[in-house]
Structure 1
Amino acid sequence: MSNHASREYNFDGLVGPSHNYAGLSFGNVASFNNVKSTSNPREAALQGLEKMRTLALRGFGQAILPPQARPNLRLLRQIGFGGSDADVIAKAYKAAPEVLACAYSASPMWTANAATVSPGADTADGRTHFTVANLNNKLHRAQEHVQTERTLRAIFRDQAHFAVHAALPQTPAFGDEGAANHIRLCGGHGARGVEVFVYGREEFSRAAPAPVRFPARQTLEASKAVARLHGLEERRTVYLQQDPAVIDAGVFHNDVISVGNADVLFYHEHAFIDERCALDALRGAMRAVDTELRTVRVPAAAVPVRDAVSSYLFNSQLLSKPDGRMALVVPQECRENAAVAHYLDDLMASGGPIDELICFDLRQSMRNGGGPACLRLRVALSDAQAAAMHQGVIMNETLYVRLVAWVNRHYRDRLAPSDLADPQLAIEVNTALAELSTLLGLPDLYEF
């Protein structure tokens, strides 16, 4: 796969009609802080679509991953709630409202957790490989992998170009949170690259450091399993451990403390357990692809970890522009945090590889604990692979207009926790998604 014949697509999660604030994600500070507040699903979806449209108009490869069906009635029936769909919802709301909230979770919108992706330039067989994340640290997320696999197989169905692997075993030893803990560094999207897996703990090493307040969701064992499934070359694969202290400070995924693109790593000084050793390992691996690593290091003195977490500075998209420079896509909160805003002003004046800020209002997603980087799954594709994937999910002006109209027809502008007990909400969601599957040209996407 040659450099000039490849392009990176960002597959953003389309926010579903049941977008709500259940505060289900212990360790995700923003999610926990907004528990049981009222959400606006329509606004959330429109904010996400505006980001997709804007980036597509700028010439960046942009596509969507559709929402998952909600509530997950199969989950509720599996744990003993029976009767009609309305009965199941009513019984769950009365006896186990937290589980009903899990069944209604909007978290699939954060497609950085959908899977880990290795482009054909890195894999042994030249195909683009996807391993669906099992997300087994949280009930509300552990249910996602079934539909995620179905969705990825529908979009990337051509097995001559793509390989979609099922989720790893559903056990803590193989806790896998997908691309949120994965960085790819390279000279260009079509060139051979270095794949970096960032983990929080080792299952089979009791001596390895680990956080004490919040869970480490990604294991070294899971990361190595994904690398094997994808056929990655050992000398171009690096495993780095997150600093346990930052996990305990709310950095539940690596993409809350660092982001990489092409040959640039934008990271906080406390991102990894041993900064010097981490950089040495990365530079050594980059020599295998004849590329020199460029780093943009953010010191704690300029941006304390708490500000990085509250603003989601690193949960940003780092995008390559045609002129070789890079744009940083940040949430509005980065402009509202004094330390972060000051740092970004200095960054823009520094003459470094990042020379443009693109700012979006993503407050509906941010309040639930996900920024720009959470909303997207990066997939580098050759021209032939791009032509082989399902074309109906690629963002363009026509699709944008249709999706906005669809959202305005089907989404509520207010959703309180008590609304999850309304059986009509489930009917509304299924009606909306049935129409969406037709709109996207994926008629068999859902199992209602």
Structure 2
Amino acid sequence: MIREINFDGIVGPSHNYAGLSLGNLASARNAGHVSQPRAAALQGIDKMRSNIALGLVQGVFIPQPRPGRAWLAELGTTVENAEPHLAANAMSASSMWAANAATISPAPDTADGKCHLTVANLKTMPHRSHEWPATLAQLRLAFASDAFAVHGPVPPAYGDEGAANHMRLTPAHDQPGVEVFVYGVAGGPFPARQHVEASKAIARLHRLDPERTLFAAQSEEAIAAGAFHNDVVAVANGPVLFAHEKAFADRDTLVGALAAKVDGFELVEVPDAVVPLADAIRSYLFNAQLVTPPDGAMTLVAPTECRDTPSVNGWIERHLASNGAIRRVNFVDVRQSMANGGGPACLRLRVACDPSDVDPRFLVDDAKLDRLAGVISQRWPDEIASDDIQAASLIADVERARRDLLETLDMPELN
């Protein structure tokens, strides 16, 4: 039975605010602040608990080895001797944002009836460009069943940042869908991270039906305003597209194509006059998880910043009162992730598949989350100042914390 599984990235013990992501306004705004890795990881655990309480299937991905010693070795240095900016790139915990791990095409969409996954190359930002080998190792372990086809990255000439720039619309997860690949062309002072060439390559690798595959340009205005990924201004679930008015360069063509190809298509669009683009990006209204629990009430899992932003909270209250497509909103506290530029949707990768085909070590329930929370509470650093990321004591603590987590999950293959 195909169900959607949300695989959340566990926030790693090296979580810090080094301000490495050009175009991510929250990351830049909080650069140099003191981070709280333990609180960040426990906030992520609590979000997973709330999704399990909704009746959703929940999975996890494991923090990557940090510091990235292999990457530094390729640069001819070590974390202890590296220039500070290289050390910061090697200590980033950005793999916690699992929405950038890969692009997923479920079995009903593919010519061979397999669920295809292509690991993202993340080549635009140095701190993320060295993530893909460890991510690929996890994908091949978690999705080793013959039900899946796991692909290596698109060649780095073309930037690919994964499911954050990909949407799937369908009447139900087990029915054929229309897959939408959103790419950037220009973004004012910021780089457009998703290249159309990478998106087209993934569609070919996944053996998608060209008649049910769409490519849409993100608006330059959205990228320039800080929407570094499509999922900062748009998210889809089932037959519903929830988007800001200024999300796409050619909104009318995309909406028209979806209306023609998706049974029961519904657009929930937020006008810029009601929620200005800046408020939408600051609150991460669209970087919420839009999910359908077993009770059928489509639910927006939104950061508390949405409740705290008057224009956004006002729109949410009016939409709920109108009996619109979104029937319920669950607010979650992921402030540590938000301060580094990632909301609830950034923290998860959606995979529609039969859960019995997934390595069970990557699936969690409340009891397993209790065990993970115990390791985090004991081993994750309480605080990290940016000036301390090369400290020998911190590096030792970070590496030991990850080893203990892998031992708890019985995943020696990832050591």
Q: TM-score, normalised by structure 2?
A: 0.98
2:191 is paired with a residue whose SS is coil
Q: Which residue of 2 aligns with 1:336?
A: 308
Counterpart in 1 of 2:348?
A: 376
Aligned partner letter, 2:155: P
Deviation at 1:273, TM superposition (A): 0.5
C-alpha distance in 2, partners of 1:429/1:359?
30
Report SS of the residue matched to 1:90: coil
Distance in structure 1 (CA, Å) of the matches to 2:45 and 2:153: 28
Contact 1:237 1:285 (C-alpha < 8 Å) held by counterparts: no
Aligned twin of 2:127:
140
Q: After alignment, is 357-366 or 417-426 more displaced?
A: 417-426
Aligned match of 2:80: 90
Structure-2 residue corresponding to 1:206: none
Q: 1:89 and 1:262 mapped to 2: Cα distance? A: 45
Q: Which residue of 2 aligns with 1:222?
A: 198
Aligned to 2:16: 20
Report the alpha carbon displacement of residue 277 of structure 1 after superposing the two structures with TM.
1.1
Within the alignment, does 1:128 sit opposite 2:128 as a pair?
no
| Distance in 2 between residues matched to 1:20 and 1:183, nearest whole Å | 29
How much does 1:322 deviate? Answer: 2.7
Any conservation in 2 of the 1:10–1:379 contact (CA below 8 Å)? yes
Q: Is 1:53 aligned with 2:49?
A: yes
- C-alpha contact 2:289 2:301 (8 A) present in aligned 1: yes
Specify the SS of the correspondent of 1:153. helix
State how 1:195-210 maps to structure 2 within 5 Å. Answer: 195-201=179-185, 210=186
Q: Say if 2:132 is the partner of 1:163.
A: no
Write the letter of the residue equivalent to 1:402: R
- 1:389-409 deviation per Cα after TM superposition (whole angstroms, max 9, x unaligned): 111121211101100110011
Structure 2 residues without counterparts, runs of 5 or longer: none
The gaps in structure 1 that reach 5 residues or longer are: 82-87, 202-209
Q: Which digits, 9 at most, give the CA deviation of each residue in 1:161-217, with x for residues without a partner? A: 11110011112xx1100000000000101111010000002xxxxxxxx22211100
1:213-254 per-residue CA deviation (whole Å, 9 max, x = no partner) reads 111000111000000110100011010100111101101000
Equivalent residue runs for 1:328-407 within 5 Å:
328-382=300-354, 386-407=355-376
Is this contact kept in 2: 1:437–1:444, CA < 8 A?
A: no
1:31 to 9, 22, 27: 27
Identity %: 48
CA distance in 1, matches of 2:87, 2:294: 47
| Structure-2 separation of matches of 1:262 and 1:116 | 17
Partner-residue secondary structure (3-state), 1:353? coil
The one-letter code of the counterpart of 2:128 is R
Give me the whole-angstrom Cα distance separating, in 1, the residues matched to 2:151 and 2:299.
Answer: 32
Name the SS for the 1:11 alignment partner: strand
Measure the CA separation in 2 of the matches of 1:438 and 1:381.
27
Aligned to 2:259: 283
Q: Residue 73 of structure 1: CA displacement? A: 1.1
What corresponds to 1:426 in structure 2?
Answer: 395
SS of 1:91's equivalent in the other structure is: coil
Match of 1:184 among 165, 168, 174: 168
**Counterpart residue type for residue 133 of structure 1:** A
Q: Secondary structure at the match of 1:75?
A: helix
SS of 1:89's equivalent?
A: coil
Distance (Å, rounded) in 2 between the aligned partners of 1:277 and 1:124: 26
Partners of 2:65 and 2:54 in 1: how far apart? Answer: 31
Given residue 314 of structure 1, which amino acid in structure 2 is its aligned partner? Answer: F
Distance in 1, Cα, partners of 2:203 & 2:223: 23
Aligned residues: 415
Deviation at 1:317, TM superposition (A): 0.5
> Contact between 2:100 and 2:162, CA under 8 Å: does it hold in 1?
yes
Cα deviation, 1:293-334, whole Å, max 9, x if unaligned, reads 111010001100000010000000001133433000000000
Show CA shifts across 1:263-282 (max 9, x none).
00001111111111111122
